[in-house]
Structure 1
Amino acid sequence: MTSEAAARRRIWGQLAAVFLWAVAFALVEAAVVVYLRRIFHPGGFAFPLQPRPYDPILGVEVAREAATLVMLALVGFLAGGRGWERFARVMVAFGAWDIFYYAWLWVFLGWPPSLATLDVLFLIPTIWVGPVWAPCLVSLGLVLCGGAAALRVGAGGRFAFGRRGWALALAGSLLIVSSFVWRGEEAARGEMPGPFPWPLFALGMVLGLWAFARAWRRGSGAE
């Protein structure tokens, strides 16, 4: 077996382990949400949300979300490897976790009934709201792009963003996050959120994929 083939086999094994860890962690996350919905939404979860007085458990939930991000970030680094190889595993872990979080919720609760269903996506630093398909699409991109980057770098290849690539990726990320928080205040006030700003989201996705494609070409020596 050549050294490159051995490296690819090692990376595939690491990616499989990270993926399975993310699927299991998604089950834990979904189970917590099942408990929270039983406590706060016994009649079922739907928009518009009912405004609530501040509850200390909300602070616990925010802390749990922050801890979740730390755990997802660290799992990619624990397997070792070089910088991009590690970051790529973080991308795979986050994407797989998010997709299977919704898959487990559907198994446990039959929710969401469709990918167009609105959900509260996140609470840091404010409420994120969007249809289920939007975070799932981002997560699918993270799994595919992260997996491809890990395989290339782990086998000794290059993956070069450069300043322009990082600027594109940052701009795309900010646009995607902006699309999620766009209707957050409406949801927090107990109003029915308006239409999801999908053009903003789509532009963010295009910029992110452009940044990845550019880094891939630069690593191949095409630029």
Structure 2
Amino acid sequence: MDSPSTLLPGAAGPDRGGIRTTSLVVLAFGVAFGYLEAAVVVYLRAVIETGAVLPAQDPATLGTFEAVEILRELATVAMIATVGWLAGRSRLERLAWSAVVFGTWDIVYYLGLRWTIGWPPALDTWDVLFLIPMAWVGPVWAPMAVSAALIGVGLAAARRLRAGGSLRIGPTEIAGGLVGGALVIVSFLVDSERFLAGDLAPWSGWPLFLGGMVVAGLAAIRAFVVAGQRALATAPR
């Protein structure tokens, strides 16, 4: 027997024209914001030292500008959450749009750096991903994979909710999302100290990362599938 859960509905009634417009606007913001982030990093790199590595990858530079970087990251998260809030009509839809903005911003950020300064040279290039509460590190392909998943799940969730559908959010889905997310985060923390010390050995956190992605992915799929099954079961015959 299923554990107690909540079917979280979206806006009342279908609004398919609105979802297309909202999707385009949110994606456009994510693209613009991602390129802006890349441009900021290029400017910081030029100001600090011509020919220097990216600021967040140099331990000495990281220490000097750590407070600035942390505040910039907090501002980035606030802007992403604000756009998600404005785009959505319910708490869950707002979270879905925030995921879309985050994923688009992150992928375009790396594409913008590649286009402007030729970095990263490869998808397995190491990067410092986040600084709160400590440095998250990993190869570029890993955050891009997370971002692609966020875009896909976010768009699918927002579309269903805006059309008046629902998602099943119960203990199983919540636990799966939290455990999967925690595994992904830990995978970015396990090599932090050695990377900042200059050790660029292969990423040891990849098993945790893949496990986290699978667990979170299964939780997301269950949220869609179970809600769809219940909707069919209760539909007028």
Q: Does 1:13 align with 2:21?
A: yes
Contact 1:184 1:193 in 2 (8 A): no
Q: Cα 1:120–1:41, aligned 2, differ >3 Å: closer, same or farther?
A: farther
Q: 1:143 pairs with 151, 161, 183, which one?
A: 151
Q: How does 1:32-181 map to 2 (within 5 A)?
A: 32-40=40-48, 42-45=50-53, 50-52=58-60, 57-181=65-189
- Compute the RMSD of aligned alpha carbons: 2.0
Shift of 1:190: 3.4
Q: What amino acid is the match of 2:188?
A: F
**2-side partners of 1:76 and 1:144: how far apart?**
15
Q: Cα 1:133–1:90, aligned 2, differ >3 Å: closer, same or farther?
A: same
Runs of 4+ in structure 1 off by over 6 angstroms are none
**1-side partners of 2:61 and 2:76: how far apart?**
25
Q: Does 1:210 align with 2:218?
A: yes
**1-side partners of 2:61 and 2:29: how far apart?**
36
**2-side partners of 1:50 and 1:60: how far apart?**
15
**2-side partners of 1:54 and 1:84: how far apart?**
36
Q: Cα 1:104–1:85, aligned 2, differ >3 Å: closer, same or farther?
A: same
**1-side partners of 2:27 and 2:179: how far apart?**
27
Shift of 1:221: 2.3
Q: What amino acid is the match of 1:99?
A: I
Contact 1:161 1:214 in 2 (8 A): no
**1-side partners of 2:145 and 2:217: how far apart?**
12
Q: What amino acid is the match of 1:83?
A: R
Indicate the residue corresponding to 2:36 in structure 1. 28
3-state secondary structure, aligned to 2:25: helix
Q: Does 1:201 align with 2:209?
A: yes
Shift of 1:58: 2.0
Q: What amino acid is the match of 1:98?
A: D
**2-side partners of 1:40 and 1:186: how far apart?**
24
Q: Cα 1:128–1:42, aligned 2, differ >3 Å: closer, same or farther?
A: farther
Higher mean C-alpha displacement, 34-43 vs 156-165: 34-43
Contact 2:139 2:203 in 1 (8 A): no
Give the TM-score of the pair, scaled to structure 1: 0.90
Q: Cα 1:190–1:116, aligned 2, differ >3 Å: closer, same or farther?
A: closer
**2-side partners of 1:162 and 1:8: how far apart?**
27
Q: 1:189 pairs with 197, 203, 210, which one?
A: 197
Structure 2 unaligned blocks of 5 or more: 1-12
**2-side partners of 1:175 and 1:41: how far apart?**
36
**2-side partners of 1:40 and 1:89: how far apart?**
35
**1-side partners of 2:49 and 2:111: how far apart?**
20
Q: Cα 1:51–1:104, aligned 2, differ >3 Å: closer, same or farther?
A: closer
**2-side partners of 1:114 and 1:57: how far apart?**
26
**2-side partners of 1:117 and 1:175: how far apart?**
21
Shift of 1:194: 4.6
**1-side partners of 2:187 and 2:19: how far apart?**
34
3-state secondary structure, aligned to 2:60: coil
**1-side partners of 2:201 and 2:47: how far apart?**
23
